[in-house]
Amino acid sequence: MMDLIKFVIIFGLYFVAGPLAGVWLANNRTAQRWTVALLVFMTSWHINKLTLMLNSVETYRGHTKGFEGSLLEVVAIALLVARWREKAADFRWVPGWAWLWLLYCACSTLSVFAAPNTTYAWMAAWKFTSAVVILSAGWNAVRDDEDLRWLARAMAVTLVIQAALVMKMRYVDGFYQVRGWFEHQNPLAMWAYMLGLPLLALAMAPVLARDTRWYAAGFLAAGLAVYGSLSRAALAMFALGAVGVAGWSLVLDKFTGKRVRLIATMAGLGLLGLPLVLDTVIARFNDEGNSASGETREMMNLASKAMAQDSFVGIGWNNFALTINAPFTYGDVINDWERDRGHKVNVDYAKGVVESHYWLLLAENGWPGLLTYLLFIGAAHVALLAGWWRWRGTARGAFFLGLVVALTLLYAHSNLERVLTQTKNLAAYLLILGAALRLAKGRPETAELPAARR
């Protein structure tokens, strides 16, 4: 009965509330921009306020625990219906990039034929395939520089709110590794630098002075969120990203006095704040258990390799947490490693999912899933680089620059953390990437804003 009620709610949201909201949004550009801003903010909100699960299996340790209905997708549907109602010549329900994402989902779904539990596989197939509406919404809703300005301001405001929460949780509530409104500190940190690094690039670009202040504040807030998470890899990625954006902006994009001043200001603030956080950061890197954590990752990767060797199409989307445990033998490599360390092994304890996104893709979705995913992210990266080249020296070009750096780090970091399997991180990624890929199609034709500061 409970699943029936959930189904009625999800059906009503997807096929009634979302489309009706789209009818209201049609021909109201300001309302659409506010809706995009809302969607950005929702990527930071509590997951249990955004999703409703059919056939929920909360005890399962896989990355998908049911057939997920998401308010993020409902808002995306509203934006798509609004653009469709406007009968715009450039509207696409499924733009080319969305087709490439769907190819990845289709190839990954082939693994259902090898899955010990097909229901788990279909849960993941639904989750990742339905997320395409967020990519399409970003592509259709963000289509000019003013839309980009609204998107960036929303990113900045959302980061500031999240950073305030993180600081409160750390210094008032006494948490050590803070996760904010996220499920874990790693998703928080990776979400923060994915949004924060493009804002740093925009802050140094020829934009209005008030926007510069907002973008700089958003970048600083991202830094506070990453620090609060105390994720070792994220701390390193954020530092590398800041240096990469600053260097690329000055050397390869456009050398300006504004960029020199802003970089000097940010560096000065960093030096002032360093004594306050240095001891904590050093202690985190020296935590006991770091070595064991790394070795555990290696054992999980070996188990993933064994799964990939047994099935070209993978052992089944979302089936890793099933097959890593008895009666399957893939988890034996971990048990043997524990015994070699002198630890007693509880064979009834349920092991989780490999941390590397790429090993997870190879294990669950096989070579078809992994290769089409790499095709999607590789082609998108090339398109963003081409967009930067066309728009270099402008605000739009700076956005592409910052996003390329952020996503390069995110993809590298994904070898350690599978955050792009998580609903909110995936939504933020697809929304911002969809918007950027649409903007990258254009060519510079208009003059820069007259009040922009160089």
Amino acid at 451: A
With a cut of 70, which residues of the chain have pLDDT below it? 1, 273-292, 445-454
Residue 422 CB contacts under 8 Å (≥ 6 apart), including other chains: 63, 183, 187
- At residue 430's C-alpha, the angle toward residues 298 and 204, to 5°, is 95
CA distance 406 to 378: 14
The region that residue 380 occupies, defined by phi over 0 for left and psi between -120 and 50 for alpha, beta otherwise, is alpha
* CA 152 to chain CA mean position, Å: 16
Q: Kind and range of the H or E element at 41?
A: helix 29-42
Locate all alpha helices (DSSP H) within 230-287, ordered by sequence.
232-248, 257-285
User: Hey, what are 145's tokens?
Assistant: 């520089």
Residues 104 and 391: their CA atoms lie apart, in Å, by 29
Q: Give 281-342 as a DSSP string.
A: HHHHHT-TTHHHHHHHHHHHHHHHHHHHHH-TT-S-TT-HHHHTSTTSSTTHHHHHHHHHTT
Confidence at residue 452, expressed as pLDDT on a 0 to 100 scale: 45
> For residue range 111-139, what is the model confidence (pLDDT) as tens digits?
999 999 999 999 999 999 999 999 999 99
Lookup: tokens for 123: 């849960």
Tokens 């690329």 correspond to what residue? 248
The predicted structure's pLDDT at residue 314: 97
Q: Which residues contact 99 (CB under 8 A, 6 or more apart)?
A: none
φ, ψ of residue 425 in degrees (nearest 5):
-65, -40
pLDDT at 159: 98
Q: CA-to-CA distance for 267 and 279, rounded, in angstroms?
A: 19
Q: Count CB-CB contacts under 10 A for residue 320.
A: 29
**pLDDT of the residue at 268:** 82
Would you state the pLDDT for residue 279? 61
Predicted confidence at residue 212, as pLDDT, reads: 94
* Residue listed under structure tokens 């909201």: 21
